[in-house]
Amino acid sequence: MLSLGVVLVAGMAQSQAREGRLLRLDPDARLAPDQRTAALAAGRRVFRAQCAGCHGPDGRGDTGYGAPNLADRDWLYGTGAVGEIEQTIAYGIRSHQPKGWNLADMPAFGAPRPSAKERLDPLSPGDIGDVIAFLSARRGATASAEAVARGRAIYQGRGGCYDCHGGDAAGDPAIGAPNLIDAVWLYGDGSPPSVFRSIAQGRRGVMPGFAGRLSAVQLRQVSLYVKSLSEAP
């Protein structure tokens, strides 16, 4: 029993030393193979306990309620650096934590949109249909030239869509504005009715921050694990 106790204590000390080294490294530093294996195994356990409820056990998300796919190399916030992932997990999205991603959300364009300076007129169903035609054409689909022209004018003008999603509709990962011209959809399947709902009703998904619920080393481990999901073949 004494020998077993010594082995357990030595194992715990070794584990704590390994975790300490992990935290001292740059989040995006290249890890030694054994250190990476241990970190990913621990991160997988944290992910399945804390994150899989929304993102799924395989990390592929759920477009029914806007849980992003974490394995597709398409990053809504940031560029996919481990440090950025760690910040998102620690402080959340629209979680009202000062260090979280709180800047942008998608208003309901089918209703009046109050702002600090003015009240913008809502878009009609026809207006929204024209914007969808414009976005479809930007993705290479066939659409009415007249509808595309009207949609472009709305997107770049009174709709104000360009302000978040950019003039090219390719989004802005600095604020979490999705790319609207790729094949990746946060909500729904990209069909016109699905896109119509997003524009008309708005979207404002929330991710809680896990700082305080997870230790610093757990945050690092699960961030490394999430990054590894996007690196899989």
Q: What is the pLDDT of residues 184-198, one digit of tens each?
A: 999 999 999 999 999
- Residue 105 is predicted with a pLDDT of 87
Average pLDDT over residues 9-18: 61
Domains of the chain with bracketed CATH? 9-103+208-231 (1.10.760.10), 113-201 (1.10.760.10)
**Share above pLDDT 70 across residues of the chain, in percent, rounded to a whole number:** 90
* Of residues 110, 106, 82, 112, the one with CA closest to residue 93: 106
Pull the structure tokens for residue 9.
């204590």
Section 88-107 average pLDDT: 92
Q: What is the mean pLDDT of residues 109-119?
A: 69
127 touches 121 (CB < 8 A)? no
Q: Say if residue 107's pLDDT is above 70.
A: yes
Q: Which of 94-108, 113-127, 190-204 has the lowest mean pLDDT?
A: 113-127
**Higher pLDDT pick, 72 / 113:** 72
Q: Are 46 and 218 in contact (CB under 8 A)?
A: yes
Give dist(CA 73, CA 148) in Å, integer.
30
pLDDT band at 92 (very low <50, low <70, confident <90, very high): very high
Mean pLDDT of the chain: 91
Query: For residue 228, which phi and psi values (nearest 5 degrees)?
Result: -65, -30
Apex 226 CA angle, 225 and 232, nearest 5: 85
Query: What is the band of 17 on the pLDDT scale with cuts at 50, 70, 90?
Result: confident
pLDDT at 85 over 70: yes
Q: Note the pLDDT of residue 112.
A: 79
